[in-house]
Homo-oligomer: A and B are copies of this chain.
Amino acid sequence: MSIVLYDLAGADPDVRFSPYCWRTRFALAHKGLPVESVPWRFSDGAAIAFSGQGKVPVIQDEGTIVSDSWAIATYLEEQVPAPTLFGGGTGRAHALFVNAWADAVLVGGIARFIVRDMLDIIDPGDRDYFRSSREARFGATLEAVQAGRGDRVTAFRALLLPIRLVLRKQAWLGGAAPSYADHIVAGTLMWPYCASRFELLEQSDPVSQWHGRILDLYGGLGRSAKRG
């Protein structure tokens, strides 16, 4: 039986752009687990009420329900130890820092470049909710939040310096092979990749080249992703 994944989808159900769902998709692919993916929209709270909370990703594995991308990754590692996502307890503890950095620095940073673009790809039924909730969060209209992005993108790219420093010494954040640390950052970058045509990274950036290599993993899971 496949694991069922509730995955945020756009108006086009094949467009998947959640940075957290992508972390889970890469983790599932890393484990080689078959997945039955269920497109989910912000307005589908009832569809995941069984999980006791209101956000995706949620997975259902036989009778077990797990929500939150980090909790899902640790669950998968326990259930299917190889190939490893974390390389043991200390590796998992260190990956939590990468997860926290991605959440604190990348997610908030990226939103300011694509949040208005997202309105064009999400389901029409999600648009009022999306605009009002995000405008309340940012204290500005989506248009104002995204404005001037061409002038701001250099400062954003500078925030990726830690990734560049790591890639000078090793091919993957996981070292000689991809680990969940790669999935965290690459999954987060799948969000702007799938939800916007804005060039957040320069093609010459080593981060962009590393992301290209992630796109090609797992039978081209990321490469074949439909972009909005």
Residues of A in contact with B (beta carbons under 8 Å apart):
84, 86-101, 103-105, 161-163, 165-166, 169-170, 172-176, 179, 181
A90 shortest CB reach to chain B, Å: 2
Tell me if A91 and B87 are in contact (CB < 8 A). yes
In-complex Cβ contact of A90 among B88, B96, B163 (8 A): B88
Known: A101-B101, A101-B162. A84 touches B93 (CB 8 A): no
Chain B CB within 10 A, most for which of A86, A96, A176, A181? A96
Q: Which residue of B lies closest to A165 (CB)?
A: B100
B161-A104 in contact (CB<8A): yes
Are A100's CB and B174's CB within 8 A?
no
Known contacts A97-B181, A162-B97; decide if A175 and B92 are in contact (CB<8 Å).
yes
Q: Which listed residue (B84, B97, B174) contacts A173, Cβ 8 A?
A: B97
- Option from B87, B90, B93, B165 in Cβ contact (under 8 Å) with A104: B165
Distance of A170 Cα from B99 Cα, bound (Å): 13
Verify B96–A169 contact, CB threshold 8 A.
yes
Contact between B94 and A179, CB atoms less than 8 A apart: yes
Assuming A96-B169, A97-B98, A97-B181, is B162 touching A90 (CB within 8 A)? no
**In the complex, how many angstroms separate the beta carbon of A76 from the nearest chain B beta carbon?**
15
Assess whether A175 is in contact with B98, with CB atoms less than 8 Å apart. Answer: no
- Whether B87 pairs with A166 at a CB distance below 8 angstroms is no
Question: In whole angstroms, how far apart are the Cα atoms of A86 and B155 in the complex?
Answer: 32
CB neighbours of A166 from chain B (8 A): 96-97, 100
Tell me the bound Cα distance from A213 to B57 in angstroms: 35
Given contacts A94-B94, A94-B98, 20 further A-B contacts (CB under 8 A): A84-B90, A86-B90, A87-B89, A89-B176, A90-B91, A90-B179, A91-B94, A93-B170, A93-B173, A93-B175, A94-B173, A94-B174, A96-B170, A97-B166, A100-B165, A101-B101, A101-B162, A103-B162, A103-B165, A104-B162
CA distance A163 to B34 in the complex (A): 34
